[in-house]
Structures are given as C-alpha cells and as structure tokens.
Amino acid sequence: MWEPRNFRFLLVVYCLGLPLLIWELNFRPDDAGAPTGGSILPDVAVIDVDLYQGSADAEFALGYEAVLKGDLKAARRHYEAALDTGVKTNENLFYFYIETLVQLGEDQELIDKVVEQWRWNFPHSQREDPRESRNLGGAPLKGGPKPSDGIRAP
C-alpha cells in the first residue's frame, strides 16, 4: 500500500526545490539571456564573429544581423564575402543571399545564376524557390526557372 514514509526522500527534494523554482521564476534579472555587446545575434554567433573574423560563418552571421536590422545592402556585402570564401555547405547562406537579392530588386540574371548554384549544391532541398517565397510577399517574380523545371548546373 501507499505509505508516506516510502516517499520521504522525494518529499524532501520537492520541499527544497520548490523555493528555488519560485525564486527562479519571480526574481530572475530582466537582462538574463540578453546578447552582449549591443549585438542582436545570439552569444555564440557573436563569439564566432569575434574569433573568426572574415570566415564564411562570421560573414554569414553579420549578414543575418544586417537583415534583422533592415540593412539589406550591408547584408548583401556580407553574404557575398561569405560566398567568396568558397563555402558550398551552408544552404542558409545561399537561400538568404537569394532572398536579399530579390528584395533589393537586383538583376534577374544574377538571381537566376545564384539560384542555379543553390540548386546544384543542394539538389534535394525541400525549400521553395526564394523568388516565389511567401516571405517576400508571395507573388512569384517574372522570369527565371521554377524549381519544378529540374534545372541543374552542368
């Protein structure tokens, strides 16, 4: 049968843990978990940018931060700097770069060329074509191949 003395240890643990839980939920500092240094990037990305300046990951993080701040031209510069390092394994870099180009209204040939590189490097990607992304207003852009065309780089 159920005897309270069988659960004495568990009861002690709960009694000691409950005040800690209440303190954590009610008296936690307001800035706990806030990024440091005025950056809106997570702390890990800020450390990556500081330690590996000029690397593809650092440039990608800076480009993403620029997008969050609304500076698409700076984002484009950082994304291009990341791609200039020769990285081909970061699908987000290609995808966000294409979205940035589309939002900036860049030349369709350039956008198509980058989409072709993205499809070549990530042929099994389940993402929709960024030129038709709902994030950009949902209206497909004129021109350019569609993902269903099966375009692959030579």
Fold (CATH) for 40-149:
1.25.40
- Looking at residue 116, its amino acid is E
Domain parsing of the chain, residue ranges: 40-149
Q: Which residue has the higher pLDDT, 61 or 40?
A: 61
Pure H helices in 28-85: 43-51, 56-69, 72-84
Given a cut of 50, whether residue 90 has pLDDT beyond it is yes
d(CA 32, CA 51): 23
pTM reported for the whole predicted model: 0.61
pLDDT of 89 above 50: yes
